[in-house]
Amino acid sequence: MERKIRAYDSLKNRVRHEPGGRMMYFRKKPVMIPLLVFAVYASLLGVYFWYTAPVRVPAEFAGTAADPAVYMTNGQLDDIESMRPWLRWVFFVTPPLQWLALWLLLTGGTAVRWRKALERTRLPPAVRYPVFVFFVWAVSSLAAFPFRFASYRVSYAHGVATQSVPGWLRDWSVSFLLDYAAVLAALGAAQWLMSRGGRWKGKLWLLSVPFIAFYMYIQPVFISPLFVDIRPMSDERLERSILELARRADIHAGRVFEAEMSSKTNAVNAEVRGLGSTLRIVVWDTALEQLGEEELLQVMAHEIGHYVKRHLEWAAAGYALWSLVLIAAVGTLYERLAASRGGRWGIRRPSDMTGVPLMLLLVSVALFVCQPAANAISREAERAADLYALELTGNAEAEIAFIQKTARTSLSDSYPPLLSRLYSTHPSDLERIAMALRFSEERSGNDRPGKDRPGEERRGG
């Protein structure tokens, strides 16, 4: 008799009642299984990045301007070998950690309990849904927070990041709220269209296209200033040089803007952002401080190359096409899982807010898996911009010099391991310098510039 009572109590713990009296059964899979899978994955990545930590270059580039032993000190190379493996590990571990958090929310019944608690408040659906999405997004973001904060502290300890802890926390909070607003809009539109029936995936894609264009339009004017102070360039002579270079490429910009990034990082960069009337040429103040004029103009020529070759427009078209594939694939898979396993997870229908963790999980996995393909396209665009800059200025020495300087200030690995290269948006520093070396040889037929630069400390074998 006692055994039957224990069995009955166990069954009650696994049964949930819907408001209408319908009973749902939750199969509580052991938490240890997904945790063990995650631990094995994280451990294997740790071994891989530890093994690939030493800075190496292919033999044919040893001793050339593409070899970091030529333009970096032993101390800088040691810092790269201690910092970069950690940052790479965090990059690849953080998304699966968020997937784990979303999976446990869904399969553990927490999402259902939140939904029921909100329903008991008798708040209108227009209020309950944003609150529910906020809870889910908070769990996902907070799961990754310790790793992101640790990465920032590692970068700070190595002199790359310069931002204070309060400043970093502020930027993280602003990013969290902006991402939450975007997630709420996307998931809210998707589930509202599901509730209406019909071809909701096609309608959602039609909504996404103007949203993508609108974001690219407002980003340099309204989004970027939330994180950094952007003002007109104070050096009028340098501004005229940059605008003259832009006019040679048929870009008629009225001003060049300066972004105050030195309070956040020692890395250098410049960018051409925006569409139409919001087009802006922006130079980081770190670039103004650390680069010579020829090197800075070379950086700007690269950014101008993106504009001339319509990479911004192609990116917008690519995002639109990618969103079509993503919505079709993820939407179909979500509908099938909601139909086949929704009863176990408390998803009453595809438009039920309980399905939000599942939707976020599927979208995140799809984005992560397909990122190498998207980044391969990005790397080709970066190579094209590099080649355009070389052809516009004809200054391979300045190209090599600015890549070497940016590598020193950001402590970037000139030739990272294969897995990192697959997920990188830019070619490696070694590949970019090698292109400049080939360009110089083809132009002049002279010896490679920058080889064994005098005064630079060589790293021992």
Give the single-character DSSP code of 349.
S
Q: Is 81 a catalytic residue?
A: no
Lookup result for tokens 């083809």: 442
Q: Find the catalytic residue in 303, 382, 399, 431.
A: 303
Handedness of CA 240, 242, 248, 249 (dihedral sign): negative
What does the alpha-carbon distance between residue 139 and residue 101 come to, in Å, rounded to a whole number? 7
Distances in Å between the Cα of 144 and the Cα atoms of 138, 149, 152, 277 are 10, 9, 13, 37
- Residue type, position 231, single letter: R
Phi, psi of 307 (to 5 degrees): -70, -45
Lookup result for tokens 């008629």: 252
In this structure, are residues 272 and 280 in contact, taking their beta carbons and an 8 Å threshold? yes
In this structure, are residues 261 and 285 in contact, taking their beta carbons and an 8 Å threshold? yes
What does the alpha-carbon distance between residue 81 and residue 79 come to, in Å, rounded to a whole number? 5
In this structure, are residues 334 and 355 in contact, taking their beta carbons and an 8 Å threshold? yes
Show which residues are catalytic: 303
